[in-house]
Every structure is written in C-alpha cells, then in structure tokens.
C-alpha cells in the first residue's frame, strides 16, 4: 500500500461510514434484460460477480451497523428525459423505446438478487447521479455520514456520476472495485482509473469490510 493510500484509508476511522448501492436492478444486471447490449462472456461474468459482491457488501454493512442507501433509477414515462432521447436517437421528442431501462412499475425497475430491508433509505433518481434532483445529500447529512462506499452498476455511468457528486459535495469516496462492473471489462478498468485519479480511493470488498470494522 502506498503512503498516500495508507493515509487516505487511515483517515476514515471515525463513525460515519455509509454504503451507496447504485442501480443493481434487473434492467442493468439481469441477463434476461442485457441481451440488447450483446455482452461478451468476460463482461457477463464481471456483471454477475459485481452483483454477488454487492450483495455481500450489503450483508457486511448491515452486520457492521453501516447504513445502506439504495439508489435506483425510476424512468417516468410521463416525464421523459429529452436530452437522453436526443443523445441516443438524435431526437429530443423521441418516444420511450421498448427497451427503456427501469420504467417505474415494470420488472426492469426491480432490484436484482438483493433488495432493501425495511427502514433502509431508497432514493429514486431520474438521471445518472443519485444526488441530482434527490434528497440523498440531505439524508446523508441527517444520518451523520462522513464518508461513503459506492457499489453497483455501471462503473462508467451511474456509479461514476454518483461517486463524483459525492466528493464534490464533501464526502470522501471509496469505490468498491469488485462490486462494480461495466458491460465491457476494458471500459470498467478505464472507468476505475479515472475515478482513482479524480474522485475516490479504489478498494476491494474485503478492504472495505476492514475499514468498517476499524471504525466500530
């Protein structure tokens, strides 16, 4: 471990840890819903492993008394994201596609192989970041959270956006490398490089567990 990384992780010793689970929903993690993305075998295994690791991290957080915040995409057909429609189809007024992810009330929006327990916070977002247009920041402040671990799907998109906003709003960020994934293993690796450069410290699920145990 480098001296800087040792100082970074060593500074996370006070109470105030939290886990942010981002978009581990059927639209993003269930192979049944991922066929249009044409993942190769390596990417498919990576996504499945990240879902399993996220579930382990949730169990570990609960056992350690670390609060879990569930950040989930909720696509509202009545309020389309016009800029996203333009980006994907070149048309601001393009109708919702048949494979639109996480439409509210559909199976794609359901959590996949892990789910919130009663009383755990759920934050429904409309875009990439769990902080944009939500009360996530206020909830973290009210809970006395001082640093966050981010896990979920996908590394280069909603995980990166949520982690980036977290540090910009003042929370040190740890990104759980084996509890995140993208639909291409090289893209996942490059996204982690960018996050390490500008956003947070990269750590495995086991290293996160050690931090949580150290602060209790």
Max Cα distance, the chain (Å): 52
Name the packing angle between helices 160-168 and 185-198 (round to 10°). Answer: 0
The active-site residue out of 109, 150, 158, 174 is: 158
Q: What are the start-end ranges of the E strands in 75-212?
A: 121-125, 147-153, 173-181, 201-203
Inter-residue contact 184 to 216 (CB < 8 Å): no
User: Could you give the CA distance from residue 196 to residue 154 in angstroms, rounded to a whole number?
Assistant: 16
Q: Who's near 107: CB < 8 A, 6+ residues apart?
A: 26
Is 157 known to be catalytic?
no
Q: Which residues are catalytic?
A: 158
């Amino acid at each position: 471990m480098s001296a800087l990384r040792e100082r970074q992780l060593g500074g996370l010793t006070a109470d105030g840890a939290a886990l942010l689970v981002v978009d581990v929903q059927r639209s993003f993690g269930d192979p049944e819903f991922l066929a249009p993305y044409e993942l190769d075998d390596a990417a498919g295994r990576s996504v499945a492993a990240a879902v399993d690791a996220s579930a382990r991290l949730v169990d570990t957080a609960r056992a350690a008394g670390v609060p879990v915040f569930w950040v989930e995409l909720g696509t509202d057909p009545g309020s389309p994201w016009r800029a996203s429609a333009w980006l994907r189809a070149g048309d601001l007024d393009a109708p919702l596609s048949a494979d639109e992810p996480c439409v509210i009330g559909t199976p794609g929006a359901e959590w996949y192989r892990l789910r919130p327990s009663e009383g755990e916070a759920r934050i429904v977002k409309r875009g990439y970041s769990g902080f944009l247009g939500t009360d996530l920041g206020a909830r973290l402040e009210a809970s006395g959270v001082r640093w966050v671990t981010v896990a979920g799907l996908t590394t280069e998109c909603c995980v990166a956006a949520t982690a980036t906003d977290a540090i910009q709003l003042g929370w040190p960020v740890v990104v759980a490398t084996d509890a995140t994934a993208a639909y291409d293993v090289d893209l996942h690796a490059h996204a982690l490089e960018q996050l390490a450069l500008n956003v947070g410290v990269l750590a495995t699920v086991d290293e996160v567990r050690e931090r949580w145990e150290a602060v209790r």
